[in-house]
Structure 1
Amino acid sequence: MKCTVLGGRGLIGSQVVERLTAAGHEVVPASKSTGVDVISGKGLDQVLDGADVVVNLTNSPAFDQSSVAFFETSMGNVAVAAEKAGVRHQVILSIVGVDQVPQLDYYRAKVAQENVLRSASTPYSIVRATQFFEFVEAVLSWTTEGDTVRLPATLVQPMAASDVAAAVARAASGTPLRGIRDVAGPDVFPLDELGRITLEARPDGRHVVTDDRAGMFAGVTGDVLIAPEGAELATTHYRDWLRLQGPRRQRATSGP
């Protein structure tokens, strides 16, 4: 099977490429660095030529209102090119609970991407994942002031990027879902507790203060960001993952 992975050089995309290749598939990683631009459409026809599956892991360069236009335009261009090329399966990565958090620009943008994919003619699969372990330090950085990190007690269920990639690769290798598969980590944490666990394992002089008005997740209440019934749960625990990362090199300053 020939698979084209758009965003194939990124955190998830590079691992999906590795997994699909190891499974014996012919894999073409595509990104701006390989001459493919999902916004202008440049290079899409060429990179999708002969592909059975396209995995779209491209991401918006910003997480504000402009991300809506990015995902609507890019998904539309990919869908048209996939139909033209006779692709039999399109796969995208989205977010658990994404349609229940309309107050977040980036989440609205991912809902728009999902809707464009559903309206296309090609059979599809949507993998919705929870927050990645790799982005926890970036989340802390967004609300850091001096040595204080302010975080709400929003419930989250993070997972390792490697487990996300595994779920995406499984979806790409299988029959189109024509729907959604939810995947999540094995443990649920209040976000402020997750911050404390992180700084206890990798101390850098900061401490966490609970503030339900702080950061992008401040307006998220209840359990909308944790795994719904029937979700696939990964086996990598956050504390175990932290231990394997070793000492902190520097504070994270940005992230999705």
Structure 2
Amino acid sequence: MRIAVAGGTGTVGHHVVELARERGHDVASLSRAEGVDLVSGRGLDEALQGVDTVIDVSGINSTATKKAVDFFTNASQNLLAAEKKAGVQHQVVLSIVGIDKATSGLYAGKLVQEDIVRHGGVPWTLLRSTQFHEFVPLVVKTASAGPVVLVPKMFTQPVAAREVAEALVSAAEAGPQGRITDLGGPRLEELDGLVRAYLDRTGQRKKVVEVPLPGLMGKAMRSGALIPAPGAAVGRQTFMEWLEASSGTYRQEK
């Protein structure tokens, strides 16, 4: 199968590209670094020539609602238009568990993306997953103010990015299925505890201050609304196992 991976250089995307190739598929990675811009549509028509299935794991590094909505609106519409021109038969999309309960920021953008895909005219499969283990170092990077890390009060069930990639490639191989079973990690955790474990493992002396965020997003984080419902698929690797395996890399990068 010829598979194109939108966002193929990202946290999940590079795993998708690698796994799909390991399974014998012909894979094209779509990213700005590789000459394809989803927002403007540049390079999409050429990149999707001969493609059977698109796996969309594209994203934006912003928590601003307007930026997220604009990105996913433009990217999804351009991708669908190019897919129709190229005769793509299946689009697999990665979304986020609980976005119905937290309709702001990135989650608002993903809701728009889901709606566009559902009504876009290309057969689709949608997988919602929880935050990846890499979410924790991202929080430390973006929420640090000197020696302090301001951590949202949040229940989370983080999952390995590679396991999400496995689910996406399997979905591509299975053909269009609509929304499939949500995927979460193996343990329910509190975000502040994960941040403390990460700081300790990487030798960073920072004080963790837990902050309850306002609005629907903060309420969803605190209430457990971003945790998969009973019956969801469960990943294998815990956060601590991931941290043990990857902390050497993060020590070098911090």
CA distance in structure 1 between the partners assigned to 2:35 and 2:18 by the alignment: 20
CA distance in structure 1 between the partners assigned to 2:8 and 2:87 by the alignment: 21
Cross-structure match for 1:67: 68
CA distance in structure 1 between the partners assigned to 2:253 and 2:28 by the alignment: 34
CA distance in structure 1 between the partners assigned to 2:153 and 2:137 by the alignment: 16
Partners of 2:151 and 2:208 within 8 A in 1:
yes
CA distance in structure 1 between the partners assigned to 2:162 and 2:105 by the alignment: 26
User: What SS is found at the alignment partner of 1:236?
Assistant: coil
**How far is 1:59 from its partner?**
1.6
Partners of 1:96 and 1:226 within 8 A in 2:
yes
Task: Supply the AA of the counterpart residue of 2:135.
Answer: F
CA distance in structure 2 between the partners assigned to 1:190 and 1:61 by the alignment: 23
**Percent identity (aligned):** 36
**How far is 1:219 from its partner?**
4.0
CA distance in structure 2 between the partners assigned to 1:106 and 1:43 by the alignment: 25
CA RMSD, Structure 1 to Structure 2 (Å)? 2.2
User: What SS is found at the alignment partner of 2:29?
Assistant: strand
Cross-structure match for 1:239: 240
**How far is 1:153 from its partner?**
3.0
CA distance in structure 2 between the partners assigned to 1:62 and 1:170 by the alignment: 29
User: What SS is found at the alignment partner of 2:218?
Assistant: coil
**How far is 1:250 from its partner?**
6.4
Cross-structure match for 2:49: 49
Cross-structure match for 1:77: 78
User: What SS is found at the alignment partner of 1:218?
Assistant: helix
User: What SS is found at the alignment partner of 1:49?
Assistant: coil
**How far is 1:141 from its partner?**
3.4
Q: After the TM superposition, which residues 1-256 of structure 1 pair with which residues of structure 2 at under 5 Å, given as runs?
A: 1-64=1-64, 65-102=66-103, 104-213=104-213, 218-220=218-220, 221-247=222-248, 248-249=250-251
Partners of 1:185 and 1:233 within 8 A in 2:
yes
Partners of 1:92 and 1:125 within 8 A in 2:
yes
CA distance in structure 1 between the partners assigned to 2:153 and 2:6 by the alignment: 35
CA distance in structure 2 between the partners assigned to 1:126 and 1:19 by the alignment: 19
CA distance in structure 1 between the partners assigned to 2:181 and 2:77 by the alignment: 22
Q: TM-score, normalised by structure 2?
A: 0.90
Point out where structure 2 has 5 or more consecutive residues left out of the alignment: none
CA distance in structure 1 between the partners assigned to 2:203 and 2:118 by the alignment: 45
Task: Supply the AA of the counterpart residue of 2:230.
Answer: E
**How far is 1:10 from its partner?**
2.0
Task: Supply the AA of the counterpart residue of 1:242.
Answer: L
**How far is 1:165 from its partner?**
1.4
**How far is 1:36 from its partner?**
1.5
Task: Supply the AA of the counterpart residue of 2:23.
Answer: A
User: What SS is found at the alignment partner of 1:11?
Assistant: coil
1:51-76 C-alpha deviation (Å, 9 max, x unpaired): 11011222225331212011011101
1:90-120 C-alpha deviation (Å, 9 max, x unpaired): 0111111112101x22110010011000001
Moved more, 60-69 or 82-91: 60-69
Partners of 2:130 and 2:159 within 8 A in 1:
yes
Partners of 1:137 and 1:251 within 8 A in 2:
no
1:125-168 C-alpha deviation (Å, 9 max, x unpaired): 11111111112022133333332323243110111211121121
Q: How many residues align?
A: 251
**How far is 1:18 from its partner?**
1.0
**How far is 1:199 from its partner?**
2.5
Q: TM-score, normalised by structure 1?
A: 0.89
**How far is 1:86 from its partner?**
1.5
CA distance in structure 2 between the partners assigned to 1:149 and 1:39 by the alignment: 33
